């Protein structure tokens, strides 16, 4: 990863900076890891194709594609690597922000590593150090919850429409999880893709 690649990713919005210190952007480690895990070559999928792919990987069916389009999508999914799949699907699919909770924040929709325990079993002891959630609007979330933007905070938030599909949870876990969680999620995604 070069400085030029990071600057290009900041310009095109695939990587978000916490803030700028002088002229230099300040990046949080999880945002950079998620960006690195979703880098690949080629044209990204349209929103319709991403939704169809997530449907197929979740349930094996989709209403978005039919006929030859569906056959091509299945073939691409069967041969895609986790990196390429994350890239084609648009990474996290929304704006990333990281906060430090100043009080307990409740009523949020967990994503990725915070939601994957129903799909993949991990032998963990104690609570997670960091929680991952999704919200419809970051501005509204910031006014409603007592949080402070923090590049080392304990709450990762993605601004997007709620999506509880199994494939979205696995993809988020692959992008946001630690190395063990990411590897397990990648393996689960590839098993689902092979079964198409």
Cβ atoms within 10 Å, residue 184 = 19
Q: How far apart are the first and last CA of the chain?
A: 33
Asked if 78 contacts 194 with a C-beta cutoff of 8 angstroms, the reply is yes
Whole-number percent of the chain with pLDDT over 70: 95
Average pLDDT over residues 87-102: 91
pLDDT tier at 164, thresholds 50, 70, 90: very high
Average pLDDT over residues 128-145: 92
What residue segments make up the domains of the chain, in order of their start? 3-40+89-194
pLDDT tier at 112, thresholds 50, 70, 90: very high
Cross-strand bridge partners of residue 134 = 109, 158
d(CA 95, CA 16): 8
What would the pLDDT profile of 52-91 be if each residue is shown by its tens digit? 999 999 999 999 999 999 999 999 999 999 999 999 888 9
């Amino acid at each position: 990863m070069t400085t030029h690649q990071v600057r290009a990713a900041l310009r095109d919005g695939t990587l978000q900076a916490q803030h700028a210190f002088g002229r230099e952007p300040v990046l949080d480690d999880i945002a950079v890891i998620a960006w690195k895990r979703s880098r690949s070559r080629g044209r990204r999928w349209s929103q319709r194709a991403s939704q169809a792919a997530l449907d197929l990987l979740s349930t094996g069916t989709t209403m978005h594609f039919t006929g030859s389009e569906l056959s091509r999508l299945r073939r691409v999914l069967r041969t895609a690597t986790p990196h390429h799949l994350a890239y084609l699907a648009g990474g996290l699919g929304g704006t990333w922000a990281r906060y430090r909770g100043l009080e307990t924040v409740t009523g949020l929709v967990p994503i990725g590593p915070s939601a994957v325990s129903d799909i993949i079993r991990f032998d963990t002891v104690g609570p997670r150090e960091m929680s991952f959630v999704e919200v419809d609007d970051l501005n509204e979330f910031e006014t409603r919850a007592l949080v402070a933007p923090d590049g080392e905070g304990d709450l990762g938030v993605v601004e997007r429409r709620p999506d509880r599909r199994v494939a979205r949870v696995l993809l988020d876990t692959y992008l946001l999880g630690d190395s063990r969680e990411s590897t397990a999620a990648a393996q689960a995604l590839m098993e689902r893709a092979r079964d198409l």
